[in-house]
Amino acid sequence: MSTTYRPEPVPIDTPVEPCVRLIPLGGLGEIGLNMMLLESGEDIVAVDCGLLFPDDEMPGIDYVIPDFSYLRQRREAFRAVALTHGHEDHVGALSYLLREFDVPVYGTPLTLAIARHRLSEHGLAERADLRPYGPGDEIRAGLFRLFPIRVTHSIADGIGLCIETPVGTLVHTGDFKLDPTPVDAQQPDYGAFAALGERGVLALCSDSTNVGRPGRTGSETEVGQALARRFAEAPGRIIVATFASHIHRIQQLLDLAAAGSRKVALLGKSMAANVAVAAELGYLKVPDGLLVALDEAAELPPERQLILSTGSQGEPNSALALMAAGEHKYFEVGPGDLVIFSSRIIPGNERVLGRLINALLRRGAEVLWEDVAFVHVSGHASQEDLEEMLRLTRPRYFVPVHGEYRHLLQHARLADRMGIPASRIFLLEDGLGLELSRSGARVLGGYPADRVFVDGKGVGDIGAVVLRDREILAESGMVVVALTIDRQTGAIVAGPEIVSRGFVYVKEADDLMAEVKEAIRDALAAREEPEVLGKELFGAIVRSAVRRFINQRFQRKPIVLPIVLEV
């Protein structure tokens, strides 16, 4: 199919009639970084404000957050942030947004509790204007009216949004699946979506993550039933690694522990924090006496222990990784233990997770993960669920969201097959806006939507050049050359001294270093007179000489850093 679902973008201009503009700053082109602006007249509302975790091409980066440049340009129009749920890829960048913008943030109680915990780490919890909302509420923000709609997802308290605008109704599903038997018995509000479809939906923005999976996504209760069978067969200690935000999964695990006379210990700060918050708000029911401290759990017989742990992605410093290495303070994994990775493998983590699984197996434990056993279901809608959402809402226009380009394109094609004309399907990416008015729709190009890198306390000060340097350092290393020259004559007074990191081990390469020094001296001696003397000139000569020598000898290209002092 050759349809691209993207007409040629036109430059951003002033609207000639009432309209609403959808402006994705993240989440359309990657999984994560979710943030979409809705703009109408002099009002802007943001749906979500998430981060992206770095991949192998971002060495040293802690997080990636959306580009807030357009909001800075339109600061006076920014009215509110509406959150769909509490996952980091939807709320994790709030700490950086609220440093600059004093706007109210709406979310369900659990979502706000998770967001508040993250904000407190940045010293922003007290000043943040966090306002709870839920299904049945109406929020007014300028020209917009927002109505939360209950959906099911892999975290409790998730919602979609009905957004009334001057030109029609928008529906944003958030992350969702259509779970007929959720753990909390709170089914998606099919009736609300169907009623909107009857009334007329201008545009649907729908989750695309699992569009490549046929059928329907399984129910969370089905995982609980499968885990119950595994628990019944386990002779010793059970260790379950799962996402700390998956409250419904944790509830089922707590219930299984209570039924099997096991005590539960929590490993990981986020696991302990989320369980405490969810229990306090009533989203998690914890039987009295079920949770015990780590040292108390370690004293129990293995068959009475259940350890709930973070580290489901094989994180090197997680408690589970320490257990696999035999270095954990309280627990030592061995024969008779059952380790369950009850989560999906995030793309890119396969190798590190594989190493962790291998280490646990070598210690004699039985290990189950998604590839070998039914221990997890996704929180995202598969093809039949996505088709059902289209049937319920019957939108005039369709915009796939939350996914890489391949997911968005697959979802666009699915909508095409469902009968939505290709001319009304818009495959946007970050930075491309969609303007909807009573006279039609058009794509706008040119919104700033660069990725902003967070490295320690630095926000946005790391760019492509620095990342490339870090990749070169990782691949080829660095050579530092220090020498002192006479300011008047250019003669070498001291040095050159050479230090190498990631290229060769200098102390075991004396002959090679002697050759490099000789190449530097020859290059400096061969410079033509007259030349302007100075550190910059000598640094350039040294850099070229070292690069040329190393490239000819080894076909490597390390970073060469000359340090030239003048006397």
Give the residue numbers marked as catalytic: 207, 380
Q: Under the phi-then-psi rule, with left for phi > 0, alpha for psi from -120 to 50, and beta for the rest, what region is 213?
A: beta
For residues 390 and 388, give the distance between their C-alpha atoms in angstroms, rounded to a whole number: 5
* Residue 481: burial class (beta carbons within 10 Å; 0-12, 13-18, 19+): buried
DSSP secondary-structure letter at 177?
B
For residues 257 and 100, give the distance between their C-alpha atoms in angstroms, rounded to a whole number: 45
For residues 228 and 534, give the distance between their C-alpha atoms in angstroms, rounded to a whole number: 75
Q: What are phi and psi of 565, to 5 degrees?
A: -110, 145
Residues in CB range of 551: below 8 A, 6 or more apart: 557
For the chain, the first-to-last Cα distance in angstroms comes to: 70
**Omega of the bond prior to 558 within 30 degrees of 0, cis?**
no
Query: Residue 184's closest CA among 306, 112, 288, 285?
Result: 285
Q: Where are the beta strands (DSSP E) in 284-394?
A: 305-309, 338-341, 366-368
| Adjacent-strand bridge partners of 46 | 37, 81
Residues in CB range of 415: below 8 A, 6 or more apart: 390, 398, 400, 425
Give the length of the chain.
Answer: 567
What is the crossing angle of helices 405-417 and 383-393, to 10°?
A: 60
Q: What are phi and psi of 412, to 5 degrees?
A: -60, -45
For residues 325 and 440, give the distance between their C-alpha atoms in angstroms, rounded to a whole number: 61
Residue 62: Cβ within 10 Å count: 17
